[in-house]
Amino acid sequence: MGAVRSLVLAAGLAASLGAAPARAQEGNILSNLFKFGGTTVPPSQPESLDPAYCPPVEIAEGAAATRILAGGTVRTQFSLARLARECARRQDGSITVKVGVEVNVLLGPAGAPGRFDVPVTFQIRHEGKVVTSRVERASVVVGSGEAQGFATIVADELLVPAAVTTDYDIAVGVGVSKAAGAKPASKPRRRKPAVAEAPAGGGDAAQ
């Protein structure tokens, strides 16, 4: 019986020694700890992308400011101040752009304090044609006893298609651009539509 038991123990030891190299090939905990700072292999990281072309923000022609009239007198003026942008390249080759704009509301002689809703159009253009367009609205408050107010508005994820990432422009403007889906304004017969006229009253009526 002693001889049989010795043979069984020897066979078990040999089997365990033979299996050890196989387990080591599956992953060495100590090796991973030195290589990756942990006991497991981290997932593969995506390859770094080239920096994205990011042109400066331009103010669209004729869209730097707009005035609201009341009985022929300036009620309020909406305008753009500081501009900022940030661009990031995506895995598919396209670029996403984030644009920040400071909006200013200035009261005129016929103006009154209140809250003003100011539309701002953000566009990505290529060779003069709009490829991406979005309208965001800034809520600007002019307090009692104050002549003006400011607010910051940010539009993110403006898409630049991969085909035009080396030649595109970023444009912003006060108001709703026709290219962004706005309906064309009706043309009065005896009145020039250059400046929109708003009814007199508080700031909430401004559009």
> Looking at the domain assignment, is residue 116 inside a domain?
yes
> Looking at the domain assignment, is residue 128 inside a domain?
yes
CATH of the domain at 89: 2.60.40
> Looking at the domain assignment, is residue 158 inside a domain?
yes
Which has more pLDDT, 59 or 36?
59
Predicted pLDDT at 20: 45
Q: What is the pLDDT of residues 168-192, one digit of tens each?
A: 999 999 998 755 433 333 333 333 3
The 169-174 sheet, strands edge to edge:
57-59, 169-174, 114-126, 129-142
Predicted pLDDT at 62: 92
Q: Return the number of other C-beta atoms located less than 10 Å from residue 2's C-beta.
A: 6
Rg (CA), the chain: 33
**Residue 22 pLDDT exceeds 60:** no
Say whether pTM exceeds 0.85.
no
Predicted pLDDT at 74: 96
> Looking at the domain assignment, is residue 14 inside a domain?
no
> Looking at the domain assignment, is residue 21 inside a domain?
no
> What is the residue range of 147's domain?
57-179+193-205
> Looking at the domain assignment, is residue 45 inside a domain?
no
> Looking at the domain assignment, is residue 71 inside a domain?
yes
The total domain count for the chain is: 1
> Looking at the domain assignment, is residue 123 inside a domain?
yes
